[in-house]
Every structure is written in structure tokens, then in C-alpha cells.
């Protein structure tokens, strides 16, 4: 049984070994790495990527993908700051509004995918274009403002730890519980493993997919709120990078592109691998262009490695 358990979680074990090796190697090449200031930076940098990657994990586990999440991040950021405009009494109603809008976008993604049979890649790219266009109609430049109290979400501390890491941890714990301890989580894995068999066994796979894309948009909205708190204003291009960046930690963490295998434990390790690697390259003053090359190479190697192991 122990051997079987190891085989089941081998991808997660490997990615955590890589994370430990990366931490040790980075500490050897930079004296600044193991400082409280640098670790605070790493934790804060990991939050936005971690939140969107949690949602993306759900989508990829079903054999799909969501490329609209970047535009949802931008929309959430701009709507929140643009409507609130520093007025604290509007904060809670506006947060509820933007979360509802995000859930609606996720519902539409899932509904179109399940009703038309069009590949999620095409549907979510279309939705990305619609939402991003709407954001740019609303504002073409950073605008709006937040009340001072909302800044705590991004810049607050609990003891010596940055508050945002608790924000990410809460989302991750909920996600892990949903995937590992609920019937819905089992349905997500089953749908990604073999959708036809799952449907014949009584699982309402269309409903599962719709809920998964709603979760994906919801975590994108949480990211947008975090970025609004961090920047103090809404940026119409704030989420642009996350359209593809959210996929990288999921793949590094061992979640299969074909669905049915993987999970959030591996994704979180992937998030910190990417964040620490970027931090190390910045400490070494490596050009951002070369960082793109490194990130692209990691994606190719990760996909090739896990695909080979699968075959």
C-alpha cells in the first residue's frame, strides 16, 4: 500500500524536491536570499500567481483550460477601484458585485463549452476578448482608488508574516478540501479522467464543468481584488500576464493537460518554484527577456517529462 501511495503522489514528491533544491541553490548564490525582507517579497509575489493557478488547476483537471482569467483579473481590479473611489462604505457592496460578475463570466464559459462542445481554449479566448475589450472601454489607463483600510489585504502583516500569505493559504486549503474531501472533487477527477464513462455512471459532467469555470473566474476575481489593494488603483492590463502564467505552475506541479491527474499540492509547489526562480534571477540581475526564455523552457521540459512518464 505504501508503494502504491508513493506511485500515486510521485509527481508531487518530485516537484517538492525540486523546490527544496532551488531554495538551497539560491541561498548559496545570494546572501540576500535568506533575509526577512526578501522572503516577504517572495510571499507577496506568490499570492496573485497562486490564486489564479488554483482556479486553473480545477479547469485543467477536467481536461479543459481557461484563458479568460487574465481579463477577469483586470475587470475586477478596475471595477473595484473605479466604483469605490476611496469611499470605504462602498467597499463591501462593490466586492460582492465584482465577485458576482466574475461568477457570471465563469458560468457563461462553462455553459457555452457544455452546450456547444466547442473546445474550452476557443471559448475562453473569445470570452477573454469580450471582457478585456469591455475593460478598455471602461478605462484605458490606471484609475480609481481604494480606502486606506483595504490596503491591508496586500500590505498588512500578522506578526512578522505578510497577511497576503494567509489570503493565499485560505484559498488553497479550501481548494484542497474541495478536491480531496468532497463528492464534487471526485467528480472533477472523474470527468477529467474519462468524461463519457463518468456521464454513463451518473455524474452530471456538464454541471461539474460549469462549476469548475465559475471557480476559475472566482479565483481570478480574488486576484483582481488583491492587485487593486496592492496597487491602490485599477489597471486595465493588470491581469494580462496571468492568462498564460497561471498554466505554468499547474504543469510544473504535475497536473496532466489531459485531465484527471494532479492537484493543488503540486500546483502550490509550482507557484513557489516560479516565484523563487524569478526572485533568484532578479537577484542575479538577469534580464527579464532571459527570464521569459527560462520560463518557456521550464514549461516545455515539464510537459515533456510528465507526458513521457504517462506513456
Higher per-residue pLDDT: 307 or 154: 154
Nearest CA to 95 out of 40, 146, 41, 29 is that of 146
Residue 128 corresponds to which cell in the numbers above?
477573454
- Inform me whether the pLDDT recorded for 104 exceeds 80: yes
Q: What is the pLDDT of residues 211-243, one digit of tens each?
A: 999 999 999 999 999 999 999 999 999 999 999
Please check whether residue 176 is in contact with residue 264, taking contact to mean a CB–CB distance below 8 angstroms: yes
Residue 22 inside a domain? The answer is no
Tell me what percent of the residues of the chain surpass a pLDDT of 70.
95
Please state, in angstroms and rounded to a whole number, the distance separating the CA atoms of residues 106 and 65. 12
Kindly indicate the confidence band of residue 306, based on its pLDDT and cuts at 50, 70 and 90.
Answer: low
Q: What is the pLDDT of residues 267-291, one digit of tens each?
A: 999 999 999 999 988 888 888 788 7
Residue 76 inside a domain? The answer is yes
Residue 251 inside a domain? The answer is no
Nearest CA to 211 out of 185, 193, 247, 176 is that of 185
Please state, in angstroms and rounded to a whole number, the distance separating the CA atoms of residues 212 and 184. 10
- Kind of pairing, strands 157-158 and 161-162? antiparallel
Please check whether residue 251 is in contact with residue 257, taking contact to mean a CB–CB distance below 8 angstroms: yes
What integer pLDDT is reported at residue 6 of this predicted model?
55
**Cα distance between the two ends of the chain:** 23
Residue 218 inside a domain? The answer is yes
Tell me what percent of the residues of the chain surpass a pLDDT of 90.
72
pTM assigned to the model: 0.92
| DSSP bridge partners of 162 | 157
Residue 105 inside a domain? The answer is yes
| Domain count of the fold of the chain | 1
Residue 18 inside a domain? The answer is no
Put residue 263 in one of left, alpha, beta given phi > 0 → left and psi -120 to 50 → alpha.
left
Domain that holds residue 76: 36-243
What does pLDDT average to over the chain? Answer: 91
What integer pLDDT is reported at residue 299 of this predicted model?
74
Strands (E) in 85-213, as ranges, are 157-158, 161-162
Nearest CA to 128 out of 2, 16, 240 is that of 240
Please state, in angstroms and rounded to a whole number, the distance separating the CA atoms of residues 98 and 218. 9
Q: What is the pLDDT of residues 159-207, one digit of tens each?
A: 889 999 999 999 999 999 999 999 999 999 999 999 999 999 999 999 9
Amino acid at each position: 500500500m505504501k508503494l502504491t501511495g508513493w506511485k500515486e503522489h510521485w509527481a508531487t514528491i518530485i516537484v517538492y524536491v525540486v523546490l527544496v533544491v532551488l531554495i538551497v541553490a539560491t541561498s548559496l548564490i545570494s546572501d540576500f536570499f535568506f533575509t526577512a525582507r526578501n522572503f516577504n517579497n517572495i510571499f507577496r509575489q506568490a499570492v496573485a500567481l497562486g490564486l489564479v493557478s488554483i482556479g486553473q488547476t480545477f479547469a485543467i483537471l477536467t481536461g479543459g483550460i481557461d484563458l479568460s482569467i487574465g481579463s477577469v483579473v483586470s475587470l475586477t481590479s478596475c471595477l473595484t477601484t473605479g466604483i469605490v473611489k476611496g469611499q470605504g462604505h462602498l467597499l463591501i457592496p462593490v466586492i460582492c458585485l465584482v465577485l458576482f460578475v466574475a461568477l457570471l463570466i465563469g458560468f457563461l464559459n462553462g455553459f457555452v463549452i457544455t452546450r456547444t462542445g466547442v473546445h474550452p481554449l476557443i471559448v475562453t479566448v473569445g470570452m477573454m476578448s469580450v471582457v478585456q475589450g469591455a475593460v478598455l472601454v471602461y478605462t484605458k489607463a490606471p484609475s480609481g482608488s481604494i480606502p486606506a483600510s483595504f490596503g491591508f489585504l496586500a500590505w498588512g502583516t500578522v506578526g512578522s508574516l505578510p497577511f497576503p500569505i494567509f489570503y493565499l493559504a485560505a484559498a488553497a486549503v479550501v481548494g484542497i478540501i474541495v478536491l480531496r474531501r468532497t463528492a464534487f472533487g471526485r467528480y472533477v477527477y472523474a470527468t477529467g479522467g474519462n468524461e463519457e464513462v463518468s456521464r454513463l455512471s451518473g455524474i452530471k459532467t456538464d454541471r461539474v464543468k460549469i462549476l469548475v469555470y465559475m471557480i476559475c473566474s472566482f479565483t481570478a476575481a480574488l486576484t483582481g481584488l488583491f492587485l487593486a489593494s496592492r496597487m491602490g488603483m485599477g489597471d486595465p492590463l493588470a491581469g494580462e500576464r496571468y492568462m498564460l502564467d497561471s498554466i505554468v505552475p499547474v504543469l510544473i506541479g504535475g497536473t496532466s493537460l489531459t485531465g484527471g491527474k494532479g492537484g493543488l499540492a503540486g500546483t502550490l509547489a509550482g507557484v513557489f518554484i516560479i516565484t523563487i526562480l524569478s526572485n533568484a534571477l532578479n537577484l542575479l540581475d538577469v534580464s527579464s527577456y532571459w527570464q521569459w526564455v527560462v520560463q518557456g523552457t521550464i514549461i516545455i521540459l515539464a510537459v515533456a517529462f510528465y507526458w513521457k512518464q504517462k506513456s
